[in-house]
Structure 1
Amino acid sequence: MKKLISIFTLLFVYSLSVFAGPFGLDMGMTLEDVTKACGGNETEYISDDRYYIQPVKSHPLFEGYVVWISETEGLYYIKGISREIQANSYGTEVKQEFAKLLSPLERKYGTFAKIDKISKDSLFQDEKYWMTAVAEGSRTFEFHWTADENNFEKFGGLTTISIGIRTQATYITDKAYIWIEYGFANAVSAFDNLDDVL
């Protein structure tokens, strides 16, 4: 009887951990596991371990999801891309949406490294040209988290998390999108294996 209870306890703990990662996805998931996390919807192969997916556990702001799945390592990288957000020249609206995403990420993963800089040679130094600078690629607006020995446990197998703002093209200065990327602990070896085929 004790053995049976132990088995049920382990299964219960395992069920809590399944699909506990970003968008319900965990490190090492197979293509079949990811398909299940997408409610059975088929994944769409892109190339080089990459697949378009639509997870059941999705965020209302995000409309595009790409995962990297290796035959040997399983799931090792996730990227989410938001819908385009209409914004004024200061980027006010997209910054507000970004702040809404940043708050829960900060609560969950702690302090982050902020990169908010503009190239010295950009013609768009003034804040009223914020969106134009993002569009032309002279402004970088990104936040990063990195797991280390002090916080590795709360990262749940993740080693890096990054989030930032971009536009679809240099001529689009009134709409931007937010991207978010999650790298798991197995990403280094998976990317190395991918590079080995070149």
Structure 2
Amino acid sequence: MALKLKWLAASCVVMNFCGTVAFAQAFGIEMGTSISNLEVKSEIGNGKFEVVAPVTHSEFESYLVNSADSTGVCMVTGIGGRYGNDSYGLNVLASFDKLDAALSKKYGKYEDLDFIRNGALWRDSDEWVMAIRQNERVKQSVWSNETGSTLPDDITEILLTIRAMSHDTAWIHIQYRFANSSACEAALSKAGDDAL
């Protein structure tokens, strides 16, 4: 019996550790990874690809990377599942808060952007998601060196954001920006200019 309890406790520790690795490693994708080393589902264009993430999280349905030939992967994005019939935003906010807490535990201080713009038309509580859809409301958490976060050397910024596609359907978007992102963006911009 004691051996079973020890095994169960060890399993729980491993599972909890594995759950945080998804955030720490940007879904198992490292800065500078060559796109040829990832399983690409589709090429979206302008250096953006939908990929199969080596490590997944139950909140997110698809994973995108930005990559240039000269830099490798410079950004990883997780696209969350849809929360429909949620005009008040209660369900998507509950999931956002859980992710926010997990990221805060891992990376520390962050900037909380939670406001509705002056002059917004969609102000009522049952229009919460619609205000997001119309860019009148912002719900985002930002981890960066500027906000006092404790980030790995290869990650410069993490953005956790609620986005919406209709008046009552929203999803969660997470983006990891790597330290090579400026060089990557410059390379992609040059490639675009060269095509002219």
TM-score if structure 1 supplies the norm length? 0.78
Cα distance in 2 for residues equivalent to 1:116 and 1:96: 14
In the alignment, is the contact (CA less than 8 A) between 1:87 and 1:93 conserved in 2?
Answer: no
Cα distance in 2 for residues equivalent to 1:65 and 1:47: 15
In the alignment, is the contact (CA less than 8 A) between 2:75 and 2:176 conserved in 1?
Answer: yes
Match of 1:49 in 2: 47
1:61 pairs with 59, 62, 84, which one?
A: 59
Count of residue pairs the alignment pairs up: 171
The amino acid that maps onto 1:176 is A
Match of 1:3 in 2: none
Give the ranges of 4+ consecutive aligned residues of structure 1 lying more than 6 Å apart after TM superposition.
none
In the alignment, is the contact (CA less than 8 A) between 2:153 and 2:179 conserved in 1?
Answer: no
2:180 pairs with 182, 186, 191, which one?
A: 186
Match of 1:175 in 2: 169
Once the two structures are superposed, the pairs formed by residues 1-198 of structure 1 within 5 Å of their partners are: 21-35=25-39, 42-147=40-145, 154-168=151-165, 172-197=166-191, 198=193
The amino acid that maps onto 1:66 is L
Q: Write the deviation string for residues 133-163 of structure 1: whole angstroms up to 9, x where unpaired.
A: 1122211111111136x766x4241001001
In the alignment, is the contact (CA less than 8 A) between 1:21 and 1:156 conserved in 2?
Answer: no
Q: Write the deviation string for residues 148-189 of structure 1: whole angstroms up to 9, x where unpaired.
A: 6x766x424100100111112xxx222111101110000011
Q: Give how far 1:33 is off.
A: 2.4
TM-score if structure 2 supplies the norm length? 0.79
The amino acid that maps onto 2:92 is V
In the alignment, is the contact (CA less than 8 A) between 2:70 and 2:187 conserved in 1?
Answer: no
CA-based RMSD of the aligned residues comes to 2.2
Cα distance in 1 for residues equivalent to 2:145 and 2:73: 18
Q: Which stretches in structure 1 are left out of the alignment for 5+ residues? A: 1-18, 36-41
In the alignment, is the contact (CA less than 8 A) between 1:163 and 1:178 conserved in 2?
Answer: yes
Paired-residue identity, %: 27
